[in-house]
């Protein structure tokens, strides 16, 4: 049986990268999916493709920093598909500015999208999920929510989302809603990956013990698991999906530097 048969999901930031992978996998596993994004053209193309392939999908333009748009998105999922069981807070942005260089505009927009957006999503989606008997929320954080990152606003927002997830567990468990966060590292074929440039990608790959970037579908498989009944006793988890970077990235780099030093000295 399909893992999400009979479920309705709302996925933000669904027009590209990991969000698209999530949407395709959810539809394949039987879910009806409301896709939201600020990229209306790409979002509508994806929804049309999924419907042509036999899935149940619809698109709505949605700025996650706007509370009224959240209310409308949740209402649209209910009207289109009859309820809501799953929320994936995937939409995100990054400024790539350090503390000294950060503009207030970039700081405010990053926090608005990456942290206020998921807050508003849970505020308005959780009661709808409760009314359908419960379900799951998956917040897409980052390894920047587990360790340091050069972008000040991005790091603050992702650490904040990690903490907000814990508060949601405390407040929504009585509604039979599980809430977890995942923390992707370098994931290829995403806008975030491309915005870092080739030098950043090379350095990150060098630090990853598995020696490669991840793929959007690898993240999607984890999101699917956490959204499905297979994860029925998992709530409040923070799962790094990063090729071992958080666990052993520093030691991996140290070992490489040591080997290079010894080879050079010999």
Per-residue H/E/C for the chain: CCCCCCCEEEEECCCCHHHHHHHHHHHHCCCEEEEEECCHHHHHHHHHHHHHCCCEEEEEECCCCCHHHHHHHHHHHHHHHCCCCEEEECCCCCCCCCCCCCCHHHHHHHHHHHHHHHHHHHHHHHHHHHHCCCEEEEEECCHHHCCCCCCHHHHHHHHHHHHHHHHHHHHHHHHCEEEEEEEECCECCCHHHHHHHHHHHHHHHHHCCCCCCECHHHHHHHHHHHHCHHHCCCCCCEEEECCCHHHHHHHHHHHHHHHHHHHHHC
Residue 146 is assigned to a structural domain of this protein: yes
Residue 52 is assigned to a structural domain of this protein: yes
Q: What percent of the chain is modeled with pLDDT above 90?
A: 87
- Total count of domains within the chain: 1
Residue 155 has pLDDT above 90, yes or no: yes
Residue 159 is assigned to a structural domain of this protein: yes
Instruction: Tell me the pLDDT tens digit for each residue of 8-51.
Output: 999 999 999 999 999 999 999 999 999 999 999 999 999 999 99
Residue 1 is assigned to a structural domain of this protein: no
CA 65: distance to chain centroid? 16
Instruction: Look up the CATH number of the domain holding residue 203.
Output: 3.40.50.720
Residue 202 pLDDT level (bands cut at 50, 70, 90)? confident
Residue 3 is assigned to a structural domain of this protein: no
Residue 266 has pLDDT above 60, yes or no: no
pLDDT at 228: 98
Q: Provide the pairing of β-strand 177-184 with 135-140.
A: parallel
Residue 259 is assigned to a structural domain of this protein: yes
- What average pLDDT does range 150-178 have in this prediction? 98
Instruction: Tell me the pLDDT tens digit for each residue of 44-82.
Output: 999 999 999 999 999 999 999 999 999 999 999 999 999
Residue 190 has pLDDT above 90, yes or no: no
In angstroms, what CA-CA distances link 244 with 95, 159, 190, 213, 214? 25, 19, 20, 11, 11
Residue 133 is assigned to a structural domain of this protein: yes
Provide the domain limits for residue 78.
Answer: 8-265
Residue 27 is assigned to a structural domain of this protein: yes
Residues involved in catalysis: 154
Bridge-partner residues for 167, per DSSP? Answer: none
């Amino acid at each position: 049986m399909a893992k999400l048969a009979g479920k309705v999901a709302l996925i933000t930031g669904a027009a590209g990268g990991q969000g698209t992978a999530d949407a395709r996998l959810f539809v394949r596993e039987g879910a009806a999916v409301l896709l939201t994004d600020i990229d209306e053209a790409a979002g509508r193309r994806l929804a049309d493709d999924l419907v042509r392939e036999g899935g149940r999908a619809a698109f709505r333009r949605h700025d996650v920093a706007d509370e009224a748009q959240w209310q409308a998105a949740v209402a649209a999922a209910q009207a289109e598909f009859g309820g809501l069981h799953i929320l994936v807070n995937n939409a995100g942005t990054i400024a790539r500015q350090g503390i000294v260089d950060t503009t207030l505009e970039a700081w405010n927009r990053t926090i608005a999208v990456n942290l206020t957006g998921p807050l508003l999503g849970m505020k308005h989606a959780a009661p709808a999920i409760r009314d359908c008997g419960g379900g799951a929320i998956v917040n897409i954080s980052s390894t920047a929510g587990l360790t340091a990152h050069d972008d000040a606003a991005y790091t603050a927002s992702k650490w904040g989302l990690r903490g907000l997830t814990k508060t949601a567990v405390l407040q929504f468990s009585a509604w039979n809603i599980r809430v977890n966060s995942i923390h992707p590292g370098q994931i290829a074929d995403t806008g975030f990956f491309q915005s870092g440039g080739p030098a950043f990608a090379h350095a990150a790959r060098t630090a990853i013990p598995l020696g490669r970037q991840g793929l959007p579908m690898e993240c999607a498989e984890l999101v699917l698991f956490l959204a499905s009944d297979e994860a029925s006793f998992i709530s409040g988890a923070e799962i790094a999906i990063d090729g071992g970077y958080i666990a052993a990235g520093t030691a991996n780099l140290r070992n490489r530097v040591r080997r290079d030093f010894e080879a050079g000295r010999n």
